[in-house]
Structures are given as C-alpha cells and as structure tokens.
Amino acid sequence: MQSVRNPSKLSEPILQQLNSYALAAGAVGAGLLAVSQPLRAEVVFTPTHVRLANGQVPIDLNNDGTPDFFLMNQSHGKSCCLYSRTLSVAGGYVGSSQNGVIGVALFANALKAGQTIGPRQQFGFAHFKMAQAFNDSNSFFYTKGAFANTTNRYLGLLFQVNGELHYGWARFSVVKAGFSGSKPVVVATLTGYAYETVADRAIMAGETETKSDGASLPAPSSADPEVPLASLGLLALGTPGLDVWRRTEDR
C-alpha cells in the first residue's frame, strides 16, 4: 500500500515570520507601483484665430485675465520718403519683472514645430520685432525679421505664474510682409497658444497634449537584508509561492 503523507505543520513563530515577510512584500510592491507611475505634466492649449493687420492683441497664456504678452502691428514714419510697418511682441510685466521671448538683437526667433522652449534657450526681455516692411524714399523696398513671409512658425515664451517660471508658445499660421503699391503691409494670423503647467519644465513648439515623464526607480531595498525582494514577492503569493521559495532555497 502507498503510504499517505500527512502535511507538516509549521510552528507558530515561523508562521508569524512568514506573515511578516508577506506584509513586507505587499508594502514593497505597492511602493514600486507608486514610484513607477509617471509624473503628469499638463499642457494647456488655447485655440484662436486672430488676424492682425493693425493695432494690438493681448495673449493670456494661462487664461487668468491678465495678458502675459502683447502683439503689436504698427506703422512708423513721418513722410512718404521713409516709412515702415512692424509686427512685434512685448512681454507683460509681473511686478517689476517682464516676461521673456526667445530672440536675439531685438528680433524674435521664428521657431519650427518641435523645437524646445525651456531653461536652456536664450530669452530676452524687451520689445521684439517679428516682421517689418520698409519703403525707403520710394527707391528701396525691403522686408526683414525671422517671421516675415513664413507659415506655421512659433514664438517661444517665458512667463511667471505665482512667482514661478513657465514656458509656452504662440503659433502663427501665416505672416505676410510686403507692399500695397508703395505702402508697407504686414499681416499675421495667430492660431493658438499653449503653456506647460509644471514650473521650469520645457515645452515643444506646437505641443498641445498632456505628456508624461517616467520616474526613475530607486535601487531595490529590503527591511531584512537576508531575504531578497524576489523571495518576498514569492512569499506574498501564499502557499504556491512558498513551495517555489522552498525549492529555490534547496538549490
């Protein structure tokens, strides 16, 4: 006859120790799941469609009722011999600080979609020109500025929210700079703007959706250095895990 083997009973101290391991494994697993969740960063996008041929348009990136930037389309000159029209942007003031624009030598950069706008870019804090058309004595007609006669270009913007720095962009589907007869003409169409809600975090020009960054996991650790995390995970499985753990320990 085949003998029947009665299951052995574990002593109370061993059971308590195994229960402690199982609880520790559960805590470790929960901690790893919490750490592995991505940090959420939200991009707030505001669609618009504004055609600016003359005058001024405010840009309120975070829609709090206070303009963060101003677009201006103005003519300059005193006579028919020298006059121009200029599209420009200026940052609004937060206290004594002015919001910034990516640009060089008082001319704003015309960014392409996907370019980074963040802490590593060069921002200026002044009145930046975007596009100009000149008539010089009815002999020389010329345009200048990175936005002149472009499509789908972006301003890179830096502004403050509650004393913290945030980055954003404003998109222009088209900017035309030229002449109607001898008259300089600049027309721009603003089709939206956006900003990153996390302070000091870069945004890509044209980015309109919420993105996520994976958080790096810390080095594994255990409350009991003699029991590796893998073993704790097996113990948390209960009896099946205990059998596997025993086979592993027997090797």
| Mean pLDDT confidence for 83-87 | 93
DSSP-derived 3-state class of residue 204: strand
What does the alpha-carbon distance between residue 111 and residue 117 come to, in Å, rounded to a whole number? Answer: 9
Poorest-pLDDT segment among 78-87, 112-121, 157-166: 78-87
| Mean pLDDT confidence for 142-161 | 97
Q: Which position has the higher pLDDT, 87 or 6? A: 87
| Mean pLDDT confidence for 210-239 | 38
Q: Which position has the higher pLDDT, 129 or 238? A: 129
What is the per-residue pLDDT across 132-142, written as a single tens digit (0 to 9) for each?
Answer: 999 887 888 99
Poorest-pLDDT segment among 93-97, 204-208, 216-220, 228-232: 216-220
Max Cα-Cα span within the chain: 120
What does the alpha-carbon distance between residue 137 and residue 83 come to, in Å, rounded to a whole number? Answer: 8
Residue 116 pLDDT exceeds 70: yes
pLDDT > 90: percent of the chain: 59
| Mean pLDDT confidence for 191-206 | 98
DSSP-derived 3-state class of residue 71: strand
Whose structure tokens read 């979609």?
113
Measured in whole angstroms, the distance separating CA 190 from the mean position of its chain's CA atoms is 20
Q: Check residue 211 and give its pLDDT.
A: 56
CA dihedral (116, 121, 125, 127) in degrees, to 10, reads: -60
Q: Is 189 exposed, middle or buried (0-12, 13-18, 19+ CB in 10 A)?
A: middle
Closest CA to 112 of 71, 61, 152, 170: 152
What does the alpha-carbon distance between residue 202 and residue 209 come to, in Å, rounded to a whole number? Answer: 14
pTM value > 0.75: no
Q: Which position has the higher pLDDT, 175 or 78? A: 175
Hey, which of 13-27, 31-45, 141-155, 214-228 has the most confident mean pLDDT?
A: 141-155
Q: Check residue 24 and give its pLDDT.
A: 47
Cβ neighbours for 243, distance < 8 A, ≥ 6 positions apart: none
Q: Check residue 15 and give its pLDDT.
A: 52
Q: Are 222 and 25 in contact (CB under 8 A)?
A: no
What does pLDDT average to over the chain? Answer: 78
What is the per-residue pLDDT across 201-220, written as a single tens digit (0 to 9) for each?
Answer: 999 999 998 655 433 223 33
What is the per-residue pLDDT across 35-47, written as a single tens digit (0 to 9) for each?
Answer: 333 345 699 999 9
| Mean pLDDT confidence for 19-27 | 49
Q: Which position has the higher pLDDT, 222 or 163? A: 163
Residue 146 pLDDT exceeds 80: yes
Q: Check residue 140 and give its pLDDT.
A: 86
